[in-house]
Structure 1
Amino acid sequence: MPKSIWLLVIGMLVNNIGNSLIWPINSVYIHDHLGQTLTVAGFILMINSGAGVLGSLIGGFLFDKIGGYKSIILGIGVTIFALTGLTLWHGWPHYVIFLTIMGFGSGIVFPSMFAMVGVLWPEGGRRGFNTLYIAQNVGVAIGPALAGPIAEFSFTYIFMANLGMYILFFLIAFFGYRNLEGKLPSKEKKENEIIIDKGKKDKSTLYSLLIVSSVFLLATIAYSQWASTMPAHMQGLGISLKEYGLVWTINGLLIITLQPLVSPLLNRYEHKIKYQLVVGVVIMMLSFVVIQFAESFTIFAIAMIIITMGEILVWPAIPAIASRLSPKGLEGMYQGVVTSFGSIGRMIGPFFGGVMVDQFNMETLLWVLCVIFIIAIIPCLLYDRPMKAKKL
């Protein structure tokens, strides 16, 4: 794997360690320490993810216009500003304001990271995206494991640690990413502009992108419950915040272990990627069936193992499909669309879950989530229809 990809992988790791320190405790902090209902907590997380949607779209646009380095530096700078404010003022309503700005800054970063992998290592195929995905989940394994014990001691140290990780990420990006982008000669730029114009006129790949992105949207609505309604539900059953963090550590360690073993097999059957999506979505749905009967940490851990096996098949496949669909010069926009759909799922999910639990109960929410996964199977099977119709 090229050195440039390793630099992106290290940056993604540091970024996700920081992010995963704070998101597992968001609902608990808003509910228990700021005295708000789960519905309000879900609404605040919806605002955070809404800002992430806007950031993702802007980040993808900026990647195509000014390049990945400047886009990433801008996103990190905005996030550092927000985390500085959050460290100093994390009462009500300051928490909401800075969490929203943080969502916007993080949103700018992610599409540029994924687009850079596709542009810098096109011959790597899905391997670059799989490695970036593993790096994300190494962060998920480390962050929540640290977040639980730190939060039980002091929430302020959570915000300080997140700020520290983002400063480290800024240094990695500032010194490491500056020379990753070579400027195209004028002739290549002109040819590239023709390709971009052609890509804009040919809408079939964009329609396919929107359809496959809807899988990401629906699956993320359900998956986001693990970071929103689930910690409060587990605490209601007498499961500690520390044990909740351990569930995410299991998730990260499984991905680190299984993804390298599964990747060669998936690469071999890359032409059947839509069926990979279907299998992954069904497996993720089964985890929520198991949660219906969960009353102990062990059953929740089993449910997390199941959903992890599903996400290994689904999460890295979607940006890889987006990279395959994107015309030259529009890589940032296509990754921005995918990332924004995930952010919309994280925006809707916590609020939707909070309302369902407050108005009905956790059991009703879990069955509704199973229905959402069943619906998600349809776009898995149909996303390539627009391109097939164009060929006819």
Structure 2
Amino acid sequence: MPRALWLLIIGMAVNVTGSSFLWPLNAIYIHDHLGKSLTVAGFVLMLNSAASVVGNLFGGSLFDKIGGYKSILLGIGVTLLALIGLTFWHGWPEYVIYLTIIGFGSGMVFPSMYAMAGVVWKEGGRKAFNAIYVAQNLGVAVGAALGGFVASYSFDWIFLGNTILYVVFFFIALLGYKNISPNTGATASILKNSQRIKNHSRLYALLILCFGYLLCWVAYVQWQTTIAAYTQEINITIEQYSILWTINGAIIVLGQPIMNQLIKSVKSVKSQIMIGTIIFVVSFAVAASAEQFMWFIAAMAILTVGEMLIWPAVPTIASQLAPEGREGFYQGIVNSTATGGRMIGPVLGGLLVDIYGMSMLFTVMIGLFVLVILSTAIYDRNIKEKKELKAV
């Protein structure tokens, strides 16, 4: 892999380690420490995700106009200011305000990171995006483990730890990313000379694919919200719940050699997504009947295999579909879709659990996966160059 990609990998790992101190515990903190219902917790997380959707699209467009270096630094700056505020004031409603700003700032960073990965190692195909994905989950494994341990002493230290690691990320970006931003002058010229792309079939294909991607995230985010709160009700501790995410990250990092061999036998990225979705169904079926911690470990392990297939595949397809000079915008769509799922999921899940209970939640989520399979099956029906969308 190129040196520039390694810098992106390190930055992503540090970034996500910091954020993973907080995000797995958001619902628990709002519900248990601030005394709000799961529906209210879901609404707060929806605001965070809505701001992140805007940040994703804004950051992706900025990448195409001013390059990844400036876009990332701007996003980090916004996030860091909010994190400093959250460190000192994390009561109600300050928590809501700062969490929303954090969503916008961090949302600006991700599309640029993915777009830069695709630019610096075009020949790597899926491997470049998979490397960033692995870095994210290394951060999840380390951050969630540390976060659960720290939270058992005091939530105040959670906010401080997140802030400190984001400061480290700022300096990595400031010193390391300046020379790996693509040529924004060439990009601007391309955009000026092709104001309109006559054939929109590739954009429509991405939007159809991202509809299924959104539904996957609606279901997946239940592990961070409703299922997280449910584990507390059946006497699974915060430390044990955090271990689930450590297991998630560890499987992703350590299981890459095996996964890479398995993917070689998959004929296309499309098939990879469909197989991953079926595995998601199995995971939720196991979780639906789980009452002991060991069964939640099994469900999480199965879930992790599914996400290892789906999460890197979608940005890979977006990179293949994107016209030259629109890489950031297309990655912005992908990231905003994922964030949209994280926005809708907590509210929908909270309402389902508060009104109908956990059993209905699992039934509805499995139903959503059926729609994911259908949308994935048809997304590329109008794309003539399907041979370009093979697994790489």
Tell me, yes or no, whether TM beats 0.5: yes
How many pairs are equivalent?
387
Instruction: Give the structure 2 partner of residue 2 of structure 1.
Output: 2
What's the offset of the Cα at 1:265? 4.1
Does the aligned pair in 2 maintain the 1:204–1:390 contact within 8 Å?
Answer: no
Distance of 2:255 and 2:144 partners within structure 1: 20
Greater alpha carbon shift after TM alignment, 332-341 vs 209-218: 209-218
TM-score, normalised to structure 2's length?
A: 0.95
What's the offset of the Cα at 1:181? 2.5
What's the offset of the Cα at 1:267? 4.8
What's the offset of the Cα at 1:258? 1.5
Distance of 2:47 and 2:130 partners within structure 1: 29
Instruction: Give the structure 2 partner of residue 121 of structure 1.
Output: 121
Does residue 274 of structure 2 align to residue 278 of structure 1? Answer: yes
With over 3 angstroms needed to count, the CA separation of the structure-2 counterparts of 1:73 and 1:190, relative to structure 1, is closer
With over 3 angstroms needed to count, the CA separation of the structure-2 counterparts of 1:31 and 1:182, relative to structure 1, is closer
With over 3 angstroms needed to count, the CA separation of the structure-2 counterparts of 1:41 and 1:190, relative to structure 1, is closer
Aligned residues: percent identity?
52
Distance of 1:171 and 1:264 partners within structure 2: 36
Instruction: Give the structure 1 partner of residue 146 of structure 2.
Output: 146
The amino acid that maps onto 2:336 is S
The amino acid that maps onto 1:345 is G
Distance of 1:8 and 1:260 partners within structure 2: 21
TM-score, normalised to structure 1's length?
A: 0.95
Does the aligned pair in 2 maintain the 1:130–1:259 contact within 8 Å?
Answer: no
Does the aligned pair in 2 maintain the 1:27–1:42 contact within 8 Å?
Answer: yes
Distance of 1:355 and 1:341 partners within structure 2: 21
The amino acid that maps onto 1:303 is A
Instruction: Give the structure 2 partner of residue 382 of structure 1.
Output: 378
Q: Deviations over 1:183-227 (max 9, x none)?
A: 4777x8646754x446x2220110011011112100000000011
- What is the SS of the residue equivalent to 2:92? coil
Q: Deviations over 1:206-258 (max 9, x none)?
A: 00110111121000000000111111100100000000000001100000112
- What is the SS of the residue equivalent to 1:342? helix
Does the aligned pair in 2 maintain the 1:130–1:263 contact within 8 Å?
Answer: no
Distance of 1:181 and 1:290 partners within structure 2: 44
Distance of 1:87 and 1:93 partners within structure 2: 14
Q: Deviations over 1:66-106 (max 9, x none)?
A: 00000000000010011001001000000000000000001
Instruction: Give the structure 1 partner of residue 12 of structure 2.
Output: 12
Instruction: Give the structure 2 partner of residue 349 of structure 1.
Output: 345
CA RMSD of aligned residues (A): 1.8
The amino acid that maps onto 1:112 is S
The amino acid that maps onto 2:216 is A
With over 3 angstroms needed to count, the CA separation of the structure-2 counterparts of 1:185 and 1:348, relative to structure 1, is closer
Does residue 181 of structure 2 align to residue 210 of structure 1? Answer: no
Does residue 252 of structure 2 align to residue 249 of structure 1? Answer: no
- What is the SS of the residue equivalent to 1:364? helix
Instruction: Give the structure 1 partner of residue 303 of structure 2.
Output: 307
Does residue 103 of structure 2 align to residue 103 of structure 1? Answer: yes
Unaligned runs of 5+ residues in structure 2 are 388-392
Distance of 1:27 and 1:347 partners within structure 2: 13
Does the aligned pair in 2 maintain the 1:141–1:249 contact within 8 Å?
Answer: yes
Does the aligned pair in 2 maintain the 1:112–1:332 contact within 8 Å?
Answer: yes
Distance of 1:190 and 1:325 partners within structure 2: 20
Deviation >3 Å, runs of 4+? 182-186, 188-194, 388-391
Does the aligned pair in 1 maintain the 2:53–2:107 contact within 8 Å?
Answer: yes
Distance of 2:185 and 2:214 partners within structure 1: 38
Given the alignment, which residue of 211, 227, 232 partners 2:229?
232
With over 3 angstroms needed to count, the CA separation of the structure-2 counterparts of 1:184 and 1:70, relative to structure 1, is closer
The amino acid that maps onto 1:352 is L
Instruction: Give the structure 1 partner of residue 88 of structure 2.
Output: 88
Instruction: Give the structure 2 partner of residue 261 of structure 1.
Output: 258
Does residue 357 of structure 2 align to residue 361 of structure 1? Answer: yes
With over 3 angstroms needed to count, the CA separation of the structure-2 counterparts of 1:182 and 1:381, relative to structure 1, is closer
Unaligned runs of 5+ residues in structure 1 are none
The amino acid that maps onto 1:229 is T
Instruction: Give the structure 2 partner of residue 41 of structure 1.
Output: 41
The amino acid that maps onto 1:104 is F
Q: Deviations over 1:107-142 (max 9, x none)?
A: 000000000011111111111101111000001111
Higher helix share: 1
The amino acid that maps onto 2:222 is Q
Distance of 1:231 and 1:214 partners within structure 2: 25
Does the aligned pair in 2 maintain the 1:22–1:158 contact within 8 Å?
Answer: yes
Instruction: Give the structure 2 partner of residue 62 of structure 1.
Output: 62
Does the aligned pair in 1 maintain the 2:68–2:182 contact within 8 Å?
Answer: no
Distance of 1:264 and 1:134 partners within structure 2: 16
Distance of 2:341 and 2:289 partners within structure 1: 25
The amino acid that maps onto 2:32 is D
